[in-house]
Structure 1
Amino acid sequence: MKRKFAVASLSIILFGTSINSLSLKAADPIKSIEKRQAIQRLEGLSNGKLKMYDKNGQLFLSGQLSKKQKVGKKAAIDFLQNNKSILGIENASSDLEAVKTKNDNKHTYVKFVQVINGIKVDNTCLNVHFNRKGYITSVNGNLEKFKEIKSLGGRTISAEDAVSIAKKQYSYDSLRFEPKAEEVIVNKNGINYQVYKVNISFMKPNITNHDVYVEVHSGKVIKTENNIRMNGPITGSGVDVFGKKRKLSLYRVSEKYKMKDVTRDGTEGILTYNLNNKTSGEKLVSSTKKAFSGEKYKAPVSAHYNAGSVIDFYRKLFDRDSLDDEGMPIVSYTHYKKKFNNAFWDGYEMIYGDGDGKKFTYLSGDLGIVAHEMTHGVISNTADLEYHNESGSLNESIADVFGVLISTYDKYKVSSGGKWKFNKKDWVIGDGVYTPRKTGDALRSLADPTLYEQPDNMDDYVYCDDVKEEDWGGVHLNSGIPNKAAYLIAKKIGMEKTAKIYYRALVEYMNPSTDFEDAKNCLLQAAEDLYGEKAEVQAISVAFDSVGIY
């Protein structure tokens, strides 16, 4: 099920722009060269996995951006100074001011605001994130590119004058509190102004909470900002692929409800998009109602709900923060192409086809498939098993195993106290969406791989060439062998122990070239770590022996 959604021509992944458009058209060729060099340096530190977005004033950098160091304000400032050409600043110490440092025992971030001529720039910020090991892993925020300040007059008013001017803009019974004036830089229509920001808040005649921006050199009101927000996280619902009503975590923006979940621990957010049966032009799924119903919403509802179930599983059982254990957002694209009979993880997000209605229906409807594909994201951020021959088959097998584990964890409501049952009928992938007009079949069976033309023993291993046309050495065929072993292990020791052993083996012991025999050794060691030399170790040994992996 794993395919490439998009292939970048450069090893650096640039979201929303290209390396040539990252403000490199600046008049100063030296700064352009410095910027290219800085990007190349970060790409090297990230081992070619640098992600970068620089568009409309928003900057996002992600990867291993630094060497290991002492976490804190100084390290953050040093990093920003060394990469000032990317940020468009001259001096990190004078152009930025640290306003907050937060540590949650796993991650630390230092928050900065931009400063021009010693005055804070309103609504700017830059966050530098450190992981628990002391590496800078992301930088994000927004800065004003232009430093010039326009004056609208020849005088300078006082803070008291600004408060008086702001008060005169309103009629009220009484203010909540006596306003104060804060001197800031504000950008309006691409022009910077030096202003006093004054908050005016009262209850009668109507509840009001406005920021009034008064230009320092003229006393003119540049703009007002309404601080009363009707936006934010909200609970809604939707009807999924199978007609089930699902509770959804949404985000309200004005009069629209969007499939954006910012409430879950362990991830920066779950966002679900509609590609409208194309390969680009995605839009965040939204509606004027918080109840999503109708045919066009079935696939997005399932994708959004199921993604949350997967994230919750990894968080609750293994305290894992999203697929990369760094809280990465979960992005799903639904309605990919027309009648597309597949789903895949492309290294950064989930892609779901609608199916042709015969071989498949909406693939996001099956939690096992969603869990399988998202687990590829966990694998690529842990063992990173090479997608060829035995290691590739093992990659597919582990994704299948967790597909079953996650779907049954949800089915039996384990997080709410339900018993995590072992049931042979559950050990299939894709039964919910495969051949929708036919009941009782599935895409694959881990209990009996031979039902769907997969081998279940090394005696029947299918030797294929390591080329795309032969599925990179038959990764989707030969995964049946370790799949059968996993089924036998779970049958003997139960679902929870199987999950814990497989996760530990994947995260702590497996590596990119792990083959079937080595996987057995990794699982044996993980079981011994967790449970000692007991029945669990014996179950793994017997299961792998029975499929010809000695």
Structure 2
Amino acid sequence: MSFHTYKPVQSFVPNYILANLSRAGVEEARLSIHQSSHSREARRSNAKETNVGDIITFAQSTRSMGAVAVKVAAARKIYDCEGKWKLRTKLVREEGDSAASDECVNQVYDFASVVREYYKNILNRDSIDNLGMDLIFNVHYGQDFMNAFWDGDEMIFGDGDGKVFVNFSSSLEVIAHELAHGVTQHTANLEYMGQSGALNEHFSDVFGSAIQQHAQGQTADNADWLIGNEIMGPELYGEALRSMKEPGTAFDNKLMGKDQQPAHMRDYYAGPEDNQGVHMNSGIMNKAFYLTAMEIGTDTAALIWYHALEKLWPTAKFNDAVSVIAESARLLTRDQKVPAGTTQNVRAAFKEVGLPQL
């Protein structure tokens, strides 16, 4: 008994931005696009197979406690790709090991703990799959690879070219964003196309920003609400990939072009690029989350969004998400987990961005 599943590669830097960089003469961007495409094709042709043997292997990796099999808490495993286009080349640090000589390895190891603890302590979730799934990371992937991505099973980080983008493993937000794609995969499993894909990207931005704010002791008021500013190289100083506070203002330069994120449904991107706008149109939902967080706090807003994510489905659209998020706010208010009046705050925030669309 077996079945095949295809898990889309979800990259931090949108392909349309890499395309702009490529047209501007950044050779590393062209090569990154090519390698990302190759990775997608490799996963499509080598989709994971689950069978009885896999189940037995999983059972053997647990220890029995009475009639219940209890898996050891999510373990971190960091691999060094050594500049090759190959995953899990060399295991250099795993759970409980002392610090490595490579600072990239140590950063990923530490940031992974921050993400894991946020899900556990704030959202009451046990790792990506809520079953203690191990956290697998690959650093130094390829040569000057200008991206980071979740491939359906593990995380991959490029070093960047040092000019346009710096090492992707140096950012807590990047790690939190990409691991959140894994959480979405194991909950709503939102299809990576159109509005459902934009929701997929939106939830990653939400948890990436929330985890970074929490770790740095920031509030909704004093956070910058920028996505990706930490991995911008010296040629893009002062820019970011997205702004949750003001979508469409994150960047405007000769290399990347201009930020195309809309902040309102009236400016919704309806074209074919970017998987029908998954990174672009997420700005509309991001703005609504920002407005909600400004009223009730980022962690409280993240709790509502997480509660909703568990109730959404693969083909959910924006209107569906608005309805489910508002209902989550109502239920959490009833259970006294969020302040009274939160549901009205959520509805007002969505109204400000033109949702729900009638």
Give the TM-score normalised by the residue count of structure 2: 0.78
State the SS of the aligned residue for 1:530: helix
- Counterpart for residue 444 of structure 1: 242
Determine if the alignment matches structure 1 residue 318 to structure 2 residue 126: no
Q: Which runs of 5+ in 1 are unaligned?
A: 15-38, 43-49, 53-58, 63-75, 77-99, 110-128, 130-137, 139-264, 413-419
Determine if the alignment matches structure 1 residue 396 to structure 2 residue 201: yes
- For residues 435 and 453 of structure 1, the distance between their equivalents in structure 2, rounded to whole angstroms, comes to 20
Looking at secondary structure, tell me which structure has more strand per residue: 1
State the SS of the aligned residue for 2:57: strand
Offset at residue 305 of structure 1 (A): 1.1
Q: 254, 269, 292: which one pairs with 1:489?
A: 292
- Counterpart for residue 281 of structure 2: 478
- Counterpart for residue 308 of structure 2: 505
Distance 1:441 1:11, change over 3 A: closer
- Counterpart for residue 453 of structure 1: 260
Alignment of 1:103-502 (within 5 A): 103=66, 108-109=68-69, 266-267=73-74, 269-280=75-86, 282-285=89-92, 290-293=98-101, 297-412=102-217, 421-423=219-221, 425-451=223-249, 452-465=259-272, 470-502=273-305
Deviations 1:217-249 (A, max 9, x none): xxxxxxxxxxxxxxxxxxxxxxxxxxxxxxxxx
- For residues 352 and 423 of structure 1, the distance between their equivalents in structure 2, rounded to whole angstroms, comes to 31
Task: Read off the aligned partner of 1:511 and give its amino acid letter.
Answer: W
Name which structure has the greater RCO, CA cutoff 8 Å, separation 6+: 2
Determine if the alignment matches structure 1 residue 546 to structure 2 residue 357: no
Looking at secondary structure, tell me which structure has more helix per residue: 2
Distance 1:394 1:8, change over 3 A: closer
Offset at residue 423 of structure 1 (A): 2.9
Cα RMSD for the two superposed structures = 2.6
Offset at residue 424 of structure 1 (A): 5.2
Task: Confirm or deny: 8 A CA contact 1:273 1:282 kept in the other structure.
Answer: yes
- Counterpart for residue 253 of structure 2: none
Number of corresponding residues: 302
- For residues 161 and 224 of structure 2, the distance between their equivalents in structure 1, rounded to whole angstroms, comes to 25
Offset at residue 445 of structure 1 (A): 0.6
Taking only the aligned residue pairs, the percentage that are identical comes to 36
- For residues 311 and 13 of structure 1, the distance between their equivalents in structure 2, rounded to whole angstroms, comes to 27
Task: Read off the aligned partner of 1:523 and give its amino acid letter.
Answer: I
Distance 1:305 1:101, change over 3 A: closer
Distance 1:102 1:474, change over 3 A: same
Task: Read off the aligned partner of 2:80 and give its amino acid letter.
Answer: N
- Counterpart for residue 102 of structure 1: 65
State the SS of the aligned residue for 2:248: helix
Q: Which has the larger radius of gyration?
A: 1
Deviations 1:126-157 (A, max 9, x none): xxx7xxxxxxxx9xxxxxxxxxxxxxxxxxxx
Q: Which runs of 5+ in 2 are unaligned?
A: 1-8, 12-38, 250-258
- Counterpart for residue 518 of structure 1: 320
- For residues 463 and 446 of structure 1, the distance between their equivalents in structure 2, rounded to whole angstroms, comes to 20
- Counterpart for residue 530 of structure 1: 332
Distance 1:266 1:490, change over 3 A: farther
Distance 1:286 1:521, change over 3 A: closer
Distance 1:549 1:474, change over 3 A: same
Offset at residue 366 of structure 1 (A): 0.9
Task: Confirm or deny: 8 A CA contact 2:209 2:225 kept in the other structure.
Answer: yes
Task: Read off the aligned partner of 1:108 and give its amino acid letter.
Answer: V
Task: Confirm or deny: 8 A CA contact 1:276 1:336 kept in the other structure.
Answer: yes
